[in-house]
Structure 1
Amino acid sequence: MIGNVDKRVAWPEKLDYKKQSVEVPGTKRPGQTGHYRSGVFGLIDHQTPNTLLTLPQIFTTGLSQSATLPFLGYRPVTSTNPLTFGDYVWQTYEEVDVRRRAVGSAVCGLFARGEVGGGELDTVGIWSANRPEWQIVDLALQAYGKVGVSLYDTLGRDSVEYIINHAQLSMVFTTLPHLPTLLSLAHKCPPLKMIVCIDDLSEDTKGVLRVLEGKGGVRVIDMKELEAQGRATPLEPVPVTPGDVVSICYTSGTTNTPKGVVLTHGNLAGATQSNLFGSSFPERGVLLSYLPLAHIYGRICELSVISVGGSIGYFTNDPLRLLSDAQTLKPSFFPSVPRVLNRVYQAAMIAGDVPGLRGALFRKAVSDKVARLRSTGVNKHAVWDRVVFSKIQAVLGGNVKMVSCGSAPIAADVMDFLKIALACDVIEGYGMTENCGTCTRVLPNDPTSSGTVGAPQPCNEIKLVDVPTMGYTSEDKPNPRGELCVRGTNCFRVYYRDEKNTKDTVDEEGWIHTGDVGEVDECGRFKIVDRVKNIMKLSQGEYVALEKIENLYSACPLTAQVFVHGDSLQPYLVGVVVPDPVQLAGIVSRVTKKRVGSDDVKALKEALGDERVVNVIMAELDKEAEKNSLKGFERLKRIHLSLELFSVDNGTLTPTLKIRRKDAYNWYKAELDGLYALGEPQNGKSVAKL
């Protein structure tokens, strides 16, 4: 028996917002704070009663609650010209159970017969965009003692080759579009013996692939054939323990090759259980899956939904159709990232903040609800929600009960607006691959939580360690500051076959040194204020944190992206600003007195050289710098404006959307060097240049 089926633990009736975390007595040492734990639930571990211990237990828990109910859904293509999609089609928990057993039985048989395998671990790769089969394969690997390895759908060819060889992948599940790439890499990847195509293969294609296999190529079959093999020779799932390795999750480095985070059943189950303490997950709720499953954030969200017997609807893998998918699915849980939520905020502000009665009502509704939120924590209003904000809520389907935000900072003003506009539990948290995306989260209805990432999760304890080179110490007033370190049942212990990075990240006591600088306030909430790395010294000796400055400027609604660059031989910062097309179109229309649409790329590009447009954008950036109290040397003095987005495709972003600083500089080297060639503005004001 799995014990009590419902693993959720409710919040207490009354929350003490002044005591969200507690410092354990006797744990403070010189150069660091004491150990902080959740002030609501304390510290949980694998000995805590009724706790989840392994990933198969998570699935069994969901199956026991929702056996015949919808589990995994997708929108089938109903027309290719034009491309259209139908309503969601679902598989139940029982149906998925049959398929995971078939896949798992077949994979086990292949390893047992020596047709695949031979590495240190029984690793199996998955290279696919989000879809039901991704989850089915992963559930099968969990249940049959194999180690899943995610290949990013947006990962470059070199990284795919590196991971296959580094993780010794003898078997990879993939989709039809990736099949040619894998076949072309096969001769460089000695461990690779079999590819399973998730999509059905035609008989003609199978014939060609058999010929290639006969000439020494890897074997290729489709998932339908694999499942048939498993049904013909069924095996029972393999017993697993919390200490067994279940996943190697590769993190995308900004400068180096990916690092393989080794995660156990206990790590991922502990993180899932922690998310169910004080959870807002509705029983059998519905999640819209669009955050890449190769990243830990999307994965831990789906595990949490499975643990309560919920449903997961996969988007159509087209970002332009994401809102259409939401309106069709009507999800109750919408996990997200600042990049998406900032767009929701900007679109709502543009649509609502207009002249006349409509604009006046919008501004009054925002003002009233924000004031009420900041004084009481209440984000609902009977009249304003119906009259003003129901239209914004309808954009996400009109049924959202919880929105989570992670992966990067989001401005406090934006977070407050999302809370009052969506009128649901909007949660900001903090995590990383190394702790299964689970470290801190804000408490519900906390009036002043925006701008923080909340208190420690129940599975974690946190401490801050001095960073004297950056001026952060545990004795800082009014609040202690330092590098945020975390440990708990959800925390990894090693990078796969990477002793150096392991020693640099995890100390002898099991603390993960995150590289993020945190601050803990008087309520026991944490705030990420800086990054230990990504700092540089300007020619006059001042240190600047480039990523921190980028995050602050990125809160400006006019900006889609900001890249801040410094040269140690120069006394000031320069940068590249990519304006938001919708906002830019509004500025150009006002300045030129001619209506310009956000899709008129030619007109927008020409406008970037208009001094009047430049001055408006620069003025807004200066306001953002002033609002965030940036020192003079921290402010952008000259900028290059561009409509060319930093992206994974052009090599300037990692798959987790972090800037690759060296590559971004090389992409705009001529422009950035040109800005420095102009010299520092003599009047001290910032200057933009096309």
Structure 2
Amino acid sequence: MPLVADRIVPWPQVKPYDKQSVPVPGTKRPGQSAHYRNGIWGLIDEHTPNSLVSLDQLFNDGLRIGKDREFLGYRPVISTNPLKFAPAYTWLTYGEVDLRRRYLGSAIHTLFQKGDLVGGEYDTVGIWSPNRPEWQIIDIALQSYNKVGVSLYDTLGKDSVGTRTNFFINHAHLSIIFATSEHISTLLKLAPKLSTVKMIVCIDKLPSEAANLIREWSEAHNLKFKEFSELEAEGKANLLQPIPATPNTVASICYTSGTTNKPKGVVLLHKNLAIATQSNLYGLELPDHAILLSYLPLAHIYERVCELCTIAVGGRIGYFTGDPLRLLEDAQILKPNFFPSVPRVLNRVYQAAMVGGSVPGLKGTIFKKALQAKLERLHATGESKHAFWDRVVFRKVQAVLGGQVQLVTSGSAPISSEVMDFLKIAFSCEVAEGTYGMTENAATCCKSWPNDPTASGTVGPPHPVNEIKLLDVPAMGYTSDDKPNPRGELCVRGANCFSTYYKDENNTRESVDEEGWVHTGDVAEIDQRGRVKIIDRVKNIMKLAQGEYVALEKIENIYSSNPIVSQIYVHGDGLQSYLVAVLIPDPILLSKIASTLQDKKVSPGDAAALAAACKDARVCSHILSTLTKEAQRNGLKGFETVKRVHLSLDPFTVENRTLTPTMKIRRKDAYNKFKVELDGLYSLGEPSKL
């Protein structure tokens, strides 16, 4: 059995920054580029020596590093009224989690064996819970006893809980669901529509009165109800040895968030997730017993793979309290080394820092000088540290996340190169746009290399587990023969990639071709250093009246890097020649703009005054001008630039069904919400040239 250290592959002493990926000779064909592979490590798969090929193997690696090492951490509640959490983290060790996964796995397997639980094509088990230690214990138990985990989005809005949860449960044929106490009543109300469910398990400890009441309510629907500790006790009394998985054992059905239509269930094998984790261990540089701060939803593949990497190296995972307003407090107590994040969070960090630093006087001057000095050094050498400016200026930014962060990753959506550069110099650590990926390739496709002076704006070369190619998109004017660099739809292949959507042959055929290439829907360019740059979208594009194609998500991402933008929805009509938008402004910056233009003090907390400012033509014109400058600075074409904007204080949320659980815009629902206002912008007629 290989040593755990053998799975971590270090960077070579000299990185070939000029050849980060290389074309495979003889693979160029008409209508597509050559196949590109990682410039250092080539292509790995499940047959590569010392590679992880199953998830139970991965957990055992973490366990072998030390069963007494801290593993899963949380802040206990010490008061419910008012809600208050302990000032320190409490930890479960690897050894304790090992025992609990055996107890839980034994109980679940026995229930399926006895016929108390009845699987469909697979023995599926649902998890409906926010991030917490029990989520990971359940998932590890399922991996260890050949069960298939199905995570339900904990962030579903009230309006969509019934329909979407009902769909997930019946589609995946769930017969047992682990849920936190706040979801139990929802499940019982849905019970008449849940034809497959036989048992509900409450993850939380309940008062005996409440537990008895729920038990009676469950029995009325012919459902069995158990508490988490009760199921663990049953497994402890009838302990079974873990069942080794094969690489091709199904591990999870992970549902996409569904921005345009019903979600798709991505069937992920043990090897898909294990080899994706292995690929992320190439070049991973974290301290011994590193800490990850877990706050991104575990129903989303990106967070799951980040946590799997942490487990594989015997690291620690500290879960946030569940309240976004306490996230920074959690970070300052936990002091994480690894902070997986998303652009919507990192953009706010950037905006807050820039607003805080852009003040008059000596403080603002020092901030600008420090910023300029570090950016020049970054672009010249790739070095993100500076002994003087880190101590004088940027340690305050670093302290926001606890002061010990060594790796920040940005995933799930594009982020601007300006924001990436700032984050690198502000946190003085590796900040990677990636891994770039999707549910269908286990969040693993490309990743930028550390200390690359010009990496920002790219997602780096393909991972060691992947090869990529570009397909021509004639309708959008992108070809693999474009100069100076090939362009086209990005396709990816590798042992981490899925092969089927659950019970969905049509979408499977559209996404995966006969050679195993997954078509991502992203348009990319491969630059002369072998790095991938995402430049457009094939999916979710629309054609304006004059025949020009526009990728609305790309445009939204560009505008979102501006501090005034809290949220933005860009809308196009095929009968019109220009774009319009709904913008939810940052209240602090909106108050400053309104105060200046209206010549009176407008407070960020004065909702009525801010609402009035949103209707002020001067304010709208000023913000539109700001957006136009942002568009020009990022090279948007005239037809890609928003020409009219509606300001609103009514945000896009999961609750009002305008956001997916992974915080992406639901375009149809967003349009319906602001249909009157958007149609009103178009009714004004075509604007004059700006």
When normalised by structure 1's length, the TM-score is 0.97
Match of 2:616?
Answer: 610
CA contact (8 A) 1:5 1:64 kept: no
Give CA-to-partner distance per residue, 1:285-340, whole Å, 9 cap, x none: 00000010000000000000000100000001111110000001000000000010
SS in 2 for 1:42: coil
CA contact (8 A) 2:106 2:235 kept: yes
Match of 2:374?
Answer: 369
Match of 1:279?
Answer: 284
Match of 1:688?
Answer: none
Residues 69 and 594 of structure 1: CA distance in aligned 2, closer, same or farther (over 3 Å): farther
Residue 43 (1) aligns with residue 43 (2): yes
Once residues 92 and 304 of structure 1 are traced to their aligned partners in structure 2, the CA distance between those partners, rounded to angstroms, is 17
Equivalent position amino acid for 1:103 in 2: L
Once residues 269 and 123 of structure 2 are traced to their aligned partners in structure 1, the CA distance between those partners, rounded to angstroms, is 14
- Trace 1:370-385 onto structure 2 (pairs within 5 A): 370-385=375-390
Equivalent position amino acid for 1:115 in 2: D
Q: CA deviation at 1:239?
A: 1.4
Q: CA deviation at 1:594?
A: 4.0
Equivalent position amino acid for 1:453 in 2: V
Residue 354 (1) aligns with residue 355 (2): no
Aligned to 1:233, which of 229, 238, 258? Answer: 238
CA contact (8 A) 2:624 2:644 kept: no
Equivalent position amino acid for 1:174 in 2: A
Equivalent position amino acid for 1:106 in 2: A
Match of 1:528?
Answer: 534
SS in 1 for 2:525: strand
Q: CA deviation at 1:139?
A: 0.3
Residues 420 and 636 of structure 1: CA distance in aligned 2, closer, same or farther (over 3 Å): same
CA contact (8 A) 1:131 1:314 kept: yes
Match of 1:98?
Answer: 99
CA contact (8 A) 1:55 1:265 kept: yes
Q: CA deviation at 1:561?
A: 1.3
Which moves more between the two structures, 129-138 or 152-161? Answer: 152-161
Q: CA deviation at 1:388?
A: 0.3
Match of 1:131?
Answer: 132
Match of 1:678?
Answer: 684
Give CA-to-partner distance per residue, 1:244-281, whole Å, 9 cap, x none: 00100000111211100000110000000000001123
Once residues 179 and 459 of structure 2 are traced to their aligned partners in structure 1, the CA distance between those partners, rounded to angstroms, is 36
Question: How much identity, in percent, do the aligned residues show?
Answer: 63
Which moves more between the two structures, 609-618 or 576-585? Answer: 609-618
Aligned to 2:446, which of 432, 440, 444? Answer: 440
CA contact (8 A) 2:260 2:668 kept: yes
Q: CA deviation at 1:661?
A: 1.1
Match of 1:644?
Answer: 650
SS in 1 for 2:19: coil
Q: CA deviation at 1:83?
A: 2.0
Residue 571 (1) aligns with residue 571 (2): no
Q: CA deviation at 1:593?
A: 4.5
Match of 1:200?
Answer: 205
Give CA-to-partner distance per residue, 1:75-117, whole Å, 9 cap, x none: 1112233322111110000011111111001001100110012
CA contact (8 A) 1:186 1:217 kept: no
Residue 393 (1) aligns with residue 398 (2): yes
CA contact (8 A) 1:591 1:613 kept: yes
Match of 2:170?
Answer: 165
Q: CA deviation at 1:589?
A: 3.2
Once residues 623 and 344 of structure 2 are traced to their aligned partners in structure 1, the CA distance between those partners, rounded to angstroms, is 20
CA contact (8 A) 2:4 2:61 kept: no
Give CA-to-partner distance per residue, 1:121-174, whole Å, 9 cap, x none: 000000000000000000000000000001000233211100111110000000
Match of 1:108?
Answer: 109
Which moves more between the two structures, 563-572 or 77-86? Answer: 77-86
CA contact (8 A) 1:280 1:425 kept: no
SS in 2 for 1:18: helix
CA contact (8 A) 2:6 2:50 kept: no
Match of 2:59?
Answer: 59
Once residues 371 and 172 of structure 1 are traced to their aligned partners in structure 2, the CA distance between those partners, rounded to angstroms, is 53
Q: CA deviation at 1:439?
A: 0.4
- Trace 1:595-606 onto structure 2 (pairs within 5 A): 595-606=601-612
Once residues 276 and 143 of structure 1 are traced to their aligned partners in structure 2, the CA distance between those partners, rounded to angstroms, is 22
Match of 1:319?
Answer: 324
CA contact (8 A) 2:191 2:221 kept: no
Once residues 120 and 337 of structure 1 are traced to their aligned partners in structure 2, the CA distance between those partners, rounded to angstroms, is 35
- Trace 1:489-508 onto structure 2 (pairs within 5 A): 489-508=495-514
Give CA-to-partner distance per residue, 1:382-420, whole Å, 9 cap, x none: 100000000000000001011011111111111101000
CA contact (8 A) 2:192 2:221 kept: no
Equivalent position amino acid for 2:52 in 1: L
Which moves more between the two structures, 74-83 or 634-643? Answer: 74-83
Match of 2:303?
Answer: 298
Once residues 4 and 391 of structure 1 are traced to their aligned partners in structure 2, the CA distance between those partners, rounded to angstroms, is 36
Residues 46 and 592 of structure 1: CA distance in aligned 2, closer, same or farther (over 3 Å): same
Once residues 497 and 484 of structure 2 are traced to their aligned partners in structure 1, the CA distance between those partners, rounded to angstroms, is 30
Which moves more between the two structures, 183-192 or 136-145? Answer: 183-192
CA contact (8 A) 2:292 2:307 kept: yes
When normalised by structure 2's length, the TM-score is 0.97
Give CA-to-partner distance per residue, 1:449-479, whole Å, 9 cap, x none: 0000000000000000001111111011111
Equivalent position amino acid for 1:119 in 2: G
* Number of equivalent positions: 684
Match of 2:555?
Answer: 549
Once residues 56 and 341 of structure 1 are traced to their aligned partners in structure 2, the CA distance between those partners, rounded to angstroms, is 33
Equivalent position amino acid for 2:64 in 1: S
Equivalent position amino acid for 2:94 in 1: Y
Match of 1:75?
Answer: 75
Match of 2:119?
Answer: 118
SS in 2 for 1:585: helix
Once residues 462 and 330 of structure 2 are traced to their aligned partners in structure 1, the CA distance between those partners, rounded to angstroms, is 33
Q: CA deviation at 1:582?
A: 2.3
Once residues 595 and 551 of structure 1 are traced to their aligned partners in structure 2, the CA distance between those partners, rounded to angstroms, is 32
Q: CA deviation at 1:2?
A: 4.9
Match of 1:309?
Answer: 314
Residues 464 and 566 of structure 1: CA distance in aligned 2, closer, same or farther (over 3 Å): same
Match of 1:457?
Answer: 463
Equivalent position amino acid for 1:515 in 2: G
What stretches of structure 1 move > 6 A for 4+ residues in a row? none
Aligned to 1:635, which of 638, 641, 650? Answer: 641
Q: CA deviation at 1:65?
A: 0.8
Match of 1:288?
Answer: 293
CA contact (8 A) 2:568 2:583 kept: yes
CA contact (8 A) 1:32 1:474 kept: yes
Residues 538 and 225 of structure 1: CA distance in aligned 2, closer, same or farther (over 3 Å): same
SS in 1 for 2:452: coil
RMSD: 1.2
Once residues 639 and 615 of structure 1 are traced to their aligned partners in structure 2, the CA distance between those partners, rounded to angstroms, is 9
